[in-house]
């Protein structure tokens, strides 16, 4: 009997030791996949915002390696202790569905009626190419990049289960953006007009990016994030009945306790304005009042502001027409890297026409350059629009209406959950995700910053961190500040 008892005790000790070892390995893998995001974000703007194919493919491979590492860690841990609202699960399913549909666009189809009509026009001695996509190779590349962005959001989401880790990742991401902003200002000051063998004009600050607009969009992500954090710092101070005392307390916070945040915020403002990006500037002045209204708990004001913004652009064009556009053209003349407002409107119209030709199936994700050349008219005698300068319309033409609706809904669901979480806990990180999404969405109406890998990947990480914190907060009874059992990994 004694031998059996000893044997059972040894088996129990072995199981306990194996379980502890398994948890230790799982924690190590979780940490590696989380902290591995930082070197990736650090390298993404080099070279030239990762717009070239080789850096983009390296990003995709690195992200998927991190995701596999994280998946192994989850398998080793065995017990799943995640708190995810149904709406966030739906957002992930919708995003995954869009990825699947985009991949299908690049596959041969049996039914020739589904194939893109331009691909069926081939010599008689060859079989027609039955792809939904106009350019399957471009679609495969675009699907790979989009899958990396979704994977980055998922990795950040999982990392955010620990509040300290989420806040540290946020601060490191902001430090990386600050380095890019500082480099951009220094490059302009030192008149470095060539980078990675590419001549870059110095009239507008662009950092390591080809286009100053994309540099501005990248910096603006840090700017609005820090704006939320600084305002949160100010709101944490006890209120004083005297105006002079309140101002003194605010100055003490800004220039004593949180001096580094204040200096970094100033750096972001300088870098964004030095880019002279019209889209980035207007996105900022439209987004910041909405974020401020939300943070100051003025829900009705925030809803009213967003409603006004939705119809303001169309109302102005309808009432002022070409006169308004001509006046804007005088204030902001066109440049080599920034088409005129009339050129953009022509590209918008072309994108809408492309969508109307294939409203349900789309032309294939990433195929806009081929679509542009197929549909261009006399308004584009020489100029080439590699992008539609409106990400929303371009995706509508490429994906088709159902997939575009699913993608947009997935983003809106995450943003709504971030707002709900901030309303419950006043933890600033969920509001950071909402603010970054808002400023990038507004900028993407007149440009294509969300299609630049360095911008898109950084946003994906910030949005994923915000969604992860939102999931944890919404799982607490009544939004309690105490962490529920199982939040810590």
> What is the rounded distance in angstroms from the CA atom of residue 397 to the CA atom of residue 355?
4
Length in residues, the chain: 489
Contacts of 451 (CB under 8 A, 6+ apart): 387, 391, 394
- pLDDT given for residue 462 in this prediction: 98
pLDDT tier, 331 (very low <50, low <70, confident <90, very high otherwise):
very low
Least confidently predicted of 92-101, 143-152, 258-267, 404-413: 258-267
Higher pLDDT: 50 or 308? It is: 50
pLDDT tier, 487 (very low <50, low <70, confident <90, very high otherwise):
very low
Higher pLDDT: 371 or 238? It is: 371
Q: Which two tokens stand for residue 22?
A: 């398994």
- pLDDT given for residue 81 in this prediction: 61
pLDDT tier, 481 (very low <50, low <70, confident <90, very high otherwise):
very low
pLDDT tier, 217 (very low <50, low <70, confident <90, very high otherwise):
very high
- pLDDT over threshold 80, residue 63: yes
Higher pLDDT: 391 or 254? It is: 391
Q: Residue ranges per domain, the chain?
A: 87-479
- pLDDT over threshold 60, residue 396: yes
Mean pLDDT within 343-354: 89
pTM attached to this predicted model: 0.88
Over the stretch 413-450, which tens digit does the pLDDT of each residue have?
A: 999 999 999 999 999 999 999 999 999 999 999 999 99
pLDDT tier, 351 (very low <50, low <70, confident <90, very high otherwise):
very high
Least confidently predicted of 186-200, 253-267, 373-387: 186-200
pLDDT tier, 117 (very low <50, low <70, confident <90, very high otherwise):
confident
Mean pLDDT within 157-186: 96
pLDDT tier, 303 (very low <50, low <70, confident <90, very high otherwise):
low
- pLDDT given for residue 76 in this prediction: 87
b/e burial code for range 271-282 (CB count within 10 A of at least 16 → b): bbebbbbbbbbe
> What is the rounded distance in angstroms from the CA atom of residue 389 to the CA atom of residue 219?
19
Least confidently predicted of 30-34, 282-286, 295-299, 461-465: 295-299
Contact 395, 380 (CB under 8 A): no
> What is the rounded distance in angstroms from the CA atom of residue 349 to the CA atom of residue 310?
19
CB 241: neighbour CB atoms within 10 A?
6
- pLDDT over threshold 50, residue 322: no
- pLDDT given for residue 153 in this prediction: 98
> What is the rounded distance in angstroms from the CA atom of residue 187 to the CA atom of residue 203?
11
105: closest CA among 394, 372, 366?
Answer: 366
- pLDDT over threshold 50, residue 333: no
- pLDDT over threshold 60, residue 483: no
> What integer best gives the mean pLDDT of the chain?
84
SS3 string, the chain, reads: CHHHHHHHHHHHHHHHHHHHHHHHHHHHHHHHHHHCHHHHHHHCCCCHHHCCHHHHHHHHHHHHHHHHHHHHHHHHHCCCCCCCCHHHHHHHHHHHHHHHHHHHHCCECCCCCCCCHHHCCCCCCCCCCCECCCCHHHHHHHHHHHHHHHHHHHHHHHHCCCHHHHHHHHHHHHHHHHHHHHHHHHHHHCCCCEECCEECCCCCCCCCCCCHHHHHHHHHHHHHHHHHHHHHHHHCCCCCCCHHHHHHHHHHHHHHHCHHHHHHHHHHHHHHHHCCCHHHHHHHHHHHHHHHHHHCCCHHHHHHHHHHHHHHHHHHHHHHCHHHHHHHHHHCCCCCCCCCHHHHHHHHHHHHHHHHHCCCCCCCCCCHHHHHHHHCCCCCCCCCCCCCCCHHHHHHHHHCHHHHHHHHHHHHHHHHHHHHHHHHHCCHHHHHHHHHHHHHHHHCCCCCHHHCHHHHHHHHHHHHHHHHHHHHHHHCHHHCCCCCCCCCC
Contacts of 53 (CB under 8 A, 6+ apart): 141
Over the stretch 65-84, which tens digit does the pLDDT of each residue have?
A: 999 999 999 888 776 566 78
Contact 422, 294 (CB under 8 A): yes
Q: Calculate the dihedral angle through the C-alpha atoms of 226, 153, 38, 193, rounding to the nearest 10 degrees.
A: -70
CA angle in degrees (0–180, nearest 5) for 44-48-49: 40
> What is the rounded distance in angstroms from the CA atom of residue 458 to the CA atom of residue 43?
11
pLDDT tier, 381 (very low <50, low <70, confident <90, very high otherwise):
confident
Over the stretch 3-57, which tens digit does the pLDDT of each residue have?
A: 666 555 655 655 666 667 888 888 999 999 999 999 999 999 886 556 778 888 9
Q: What does each C-alpha distance from 280 to 9, 16, 123 come to in angstroms?
A: 66, 56, 47
> What is the rounded distance in angstroms from the CA atom of residue 391 to the CA atom of residue 445?
6
CA angle in degrees (0–180, nearest 5) for 398-403-406: 140
- pLDDT given for residue 110 in this prediction: 83
Over the stretch 92-107, which tens digit does the pLDDT of each residue have?
A: 999 999 999 999 999 9
- pLDDT given for residue 298 in this prediction: 62
């Amino acid at each position: 009997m004694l031998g059996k008892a000893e044997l059972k005790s040894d088996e129990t000790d072995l199981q306990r030791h194996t379980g502890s070892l398994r948890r230790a390995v799982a924690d190590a893998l979780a940490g590696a996949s989380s902290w591995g995001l930082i070197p990736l974000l650090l390298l993404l703007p080099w070279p030239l915002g990762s717009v070239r194919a080789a850096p983009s493919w390296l990003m995709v491979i690195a992200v998927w390696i991190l995701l596999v590492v994280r998946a192994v860690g989850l398998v080793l841990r065995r017990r799943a202790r995640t708190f995810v609202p149904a709406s966030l699960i739906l957002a992930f399913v919708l995003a995954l569905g869009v990825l699947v549909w985009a991949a299908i666009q690049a596959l041969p189809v049996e039914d020739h009626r589904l194939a893109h009509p331009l691909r069926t026009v081939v010599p008689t001695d060859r079989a027609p190419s039955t792809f939904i996509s106009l350019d399957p190779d471009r679609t495969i590349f675009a699907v790979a990049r989009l899958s990396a962005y979704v994977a980055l959001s998922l990795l950040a989401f999982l990392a955010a289960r620990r509040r300290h880790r989420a806040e540290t990742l946020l601060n490191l991401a902001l430090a990386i953006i600050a380095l890019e902003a500082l480099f951009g200002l220094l490059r302009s000051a030192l008149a470095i007009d060539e980078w990675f063998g590419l001549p870059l004009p110095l009239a507008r600050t662009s950092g390591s990016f080809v286009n100053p607009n994309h540099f501005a969009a990248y910096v603006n992500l840090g700017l609005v994030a820090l704006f939320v954090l600084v305002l949160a710092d100010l709101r944490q101070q006890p209120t004083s009945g005297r105006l002079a005392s309140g101002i003194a307390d605010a100055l003490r916070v800004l220039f004593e306790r949180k001096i580094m945040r204040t200096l970094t915020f100033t750096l972001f403002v300088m870098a964004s304005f030095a880019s002279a990006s019209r889209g980035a500037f207007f996105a900022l002045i439209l987004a910041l009042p909405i974020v401020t209204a939300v943070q100051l708990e003025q829900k009705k004001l925030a809803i009213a502001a967003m409603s006004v913004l939705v119809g303001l652009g169309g109302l102005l064009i309808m009432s002022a027409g070409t006169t308004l556009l001509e006046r804007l053209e005088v204030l902001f003349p066109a440049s080599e890297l920034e088409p005129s407002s009339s050129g953009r409107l022509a590209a918008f119209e072309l994108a809408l026409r492309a969508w109307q030709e294939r409203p349900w199936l789309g032309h294939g994700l990433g195929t806009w350059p081929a679509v542009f050349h197929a549909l261009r008219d006399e308004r584009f005698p020489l100029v080439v629009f590699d992008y539609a300068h409106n990400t929303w319309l371009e995706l509508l033409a490429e994906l088709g209406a159902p997939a575009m609706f699913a993608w947009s809904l997935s983003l809106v669901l995450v943003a709504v959950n971030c707002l709900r979480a901030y309303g419950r806990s006043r933890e600033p990180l969920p509001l950071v995700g909402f603010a970054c999404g808002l400023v990038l969405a507004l900028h993407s109406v007149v440009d294509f910053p969300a299609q630049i890998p360095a911008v898109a990947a950084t946003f994906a990480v910030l949005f994923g961190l915000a969604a992860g914190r939102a999931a944890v907060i919404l799982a607490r009874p009544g939004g309690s500040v105490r962490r529920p059992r199982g939040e810590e990994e």
